[in-house]
Amino acid sequence: LDTRTLCLGVLSAGEASGYDIKKCLEEGFGAFLDVSHASIYPALAMLLDEGLVSCTEVRQSARPDKKIYALTDVGREALVDGLAKSPGRHRVRSEFLALLIFAEYLPPERLRQVLDTRLAEIDAQLRHIASRERVGESAGRCFAAGFAEAVLGASRDYILEHRRSLEQAAASPELT
- Judged by the rule CB under 8 A, the positions of this chain that interact with a copy of itself are 1, 6, 9, 12, 29, 31-34, 79-80, 83-84, 86-107, 110, 114, 117-118, 121, 138-141, 143-144, 146-148, 150-151, 153-155, 157-159, 162, 165-166, 169-170, 176
Q: Choose between 47 and 170: whose C-beta lies nearer to DNA.
A: 47
For residue 89, which of 141, 32, 8, 142 has the smallest C-alpha distance? 32
R_g of the chain computed on alpha carbons: 21
End-to-end CA distance of the chain: 44
CB 106 within 8 A of CB 169: no
Tell me the closest approach of the beta carbon of residue 65 to DNA, in angstroms. 7
Tell me, residue by residue from 40 to 69, as one string, x for binding to DNA by CB under 7 A and - for no binding: -xx-xx--------------x-xxxxxx--
Please report, as residue ranges, which positions from 65 to 94 form the binding site for DNA (by CB under 7 A): 65-67
CA distance 159 to 127: 18
Tell me: does residue 36 bind DNA (CB under 7 A): yes
Q: Please state whether 18 falls in left (phi above 0), alpha (psi between -120 and 50) or beta.
A: alpha
Judged by CB under 7 A, the number of residues near DNA is 24
